[in-house]
Structure 1
Amino acid sequence: MKKIFLALLVLAASVTTASAQIEIGLKISPSINSLRAESPSDRAFKSDGSQFGFGGGLVVDYFFGENYAFSTGLLLAGKGGTISYRDVSGGVTGQPFTETQKFNMQYLQAPLTVKLFTNEIAPDTRLYFQVGGSLNVPIGTRINSSKFYTDPADGKETKASDHVLFFDADALAAIGVEFQLAKSTKVFGGISYNRGLVDIDRYFEKTRDFKDITIKNSSVALDLGIKF
């Protein structure tokens, strides 16, 4: 029985390896990014504008069926946006004031998603739907275009990178179309939405002792790429 069981395992592994297909490619992703900010009413944290970003990198689709693939890769993604809040400490003037911060962040991103492909809707053309998430690590941060930020409330200067948590995670959903150009060459285009799941604030609650502050990333991107 053991020999039969082992033989079946080897056969299953062989079939899986034979039927599996890996497609590797590159993509670029211009995006519109924003920050979702929440707080108690006295602090009045809110999103105060979106901004353009740009990203791209390596994509890997590991097919475990004709129309199903595990999709990952290693991408550089631009994120950020503008937030505003009310500072009741008064600062140097002694009067409450509204402060605005514009965040520009670069993340190294590893998607962990599933792609579902339709059958051909036209010759050599299929739709795809992508769902899952991504794990993100910040590799660069600027506030108001600077790597350092001076808080008007107390005049103290801090690194912009110290304002952002060392880790982020997104829920990801995308839809697009893929076209077969040649035997092993495909091009694709689609729209993806990344919704941040992690509160990235590392400054207001930790350094300023504000309570119940939440700041999360959001982005909508145009995905254009080629697979080989």
Structure 2
Amino acid sequence: MKKALFALALLMAGAATTATAQVEIGLKVSPSITSLRVDSPSGRAFASDGSKFGIGGGLVVDYFFGQNYAFSTGLMLTSKGGTITYRDQTSPTNPDEITRTQKIGLQYLEIPVSVKLFTNDIATDVKLYFQVGATANASVGARVNEGKFFTDPSTGVELKASKHFIIPDAALLGGFGAEYQLGQSTKVFAGVSYHRGLFNIDRYFEKERNVSGVSIKNTEVALDFGIKF
């Protein structure tokens, strides 16, 4: 009985060691260029009119279920947004149309749900990786024309910028890069990732201005730099 318990203890200890070795945790920083994909009825002439620079970062967790295969997740704080233009009435008392511009800045908490595929070493301690999956995002902040509040010049109504957008978003994720083993458990990596937003994040034009058919979606291209311990 004692031998059986001792063998079981050794087995559990070995399993715990193996499980620990399969998980790599690190930190990542991601400067990015973001923009907004815009669609609307032709009369309103909504259009994307520029990108913005953002920066994000957070925790990376890679769980290996094979030598070269890992489930990759984490928790990131990311910046998104861009500039849009549209046609609208000049003022509450003047129905003549004018082209307006909105500079939109958004912050999201982001949870990736993805798979990383690693090559064998292409040079000493260097592997390439390819990442594919999606992200689940929740808006935690917004600015319109650099302000947390926005007064629509066409209506004179002021609202919080965060009220212009829905909270949830999701995106398709694809990327690739290289990873270098510095020591026994320390690795650094660098890569490029593309995030294509799936949700129409607009709430203001649909709910407050009764403009149907407007669609605003996030797009992001990021450089990813990180270290895993």
TM-score normalised by the chain length of structure 2: 0.90
Is structure 2 residue 70 aligned with structure 1 residue 69? yes
- For 1:124, the equivalent position in structure 2 comes to 125
2:45 corresponds to: 44
Matching residue of 2:150: 149
Structure 2 unaligned spans of 5+: 1-10
Deviation at 1:219, TM superposition (A): 0.5
Q: Distance in 2 between matches of 1:227 and 1:157?
A: 45
- What is residue 167 of structure 1 aligned with on the other side? 168
Q: What is the one-letter code of the residue matched to 1:49?
A: G
CA distance in 2, matches of 1:215, 1:18: 43
Percentage of identical aligned residues: 61
| Alpha-carbon distance change, 149 to 217 in structure 1, aligned in 2, over 3 angstroms | same
> Which residue identity does 2:61 align to in structure 1?
V
* In 1: Cα distance, 2:58 partner to 2:86 partner: 35
CA shift, 1:88, in A, is 4.6
Task: Tell me the residue number matched to 2:30.
Answer: 29
Shift of 1:91: 3.7
| CA distance in structure 1 between the partners assigned to 2:20 and 2:28 by the alignment | 25
1:92-111 aligned at under 5 Å gives the runs 92-111=93-112
Question: Does structure 2 conserve the Cα–Cα contact (< 8 Å) formed by 1:176 and 1:190?
Answer: yes
Conserved in 2, the CA contact under 8 Å of 1:92 and 1:152? no
Residue pairs, 1:182-193, within 5 angstroms: 182-193=183-194
Give the total of aligned pairs.
217
Q: Which amino acid aligns with 2:199?
A: V
Any residues of structure 2 matched to 1:175-214 within 5 Å, and which? Answer: 175-214=176-215
Structure 1: segments with no counterpart, 5+ residues: 1-9
- Give a deviation string over 1:154-202, Cα, whole Å, max 9, x none: 1000110000101000100010000000000000000000000000001
Q: 1:103 and 1:163 mapped to 2: Cα distance?
A: 10
Residue in 2 that maps onto 1:226 = 227
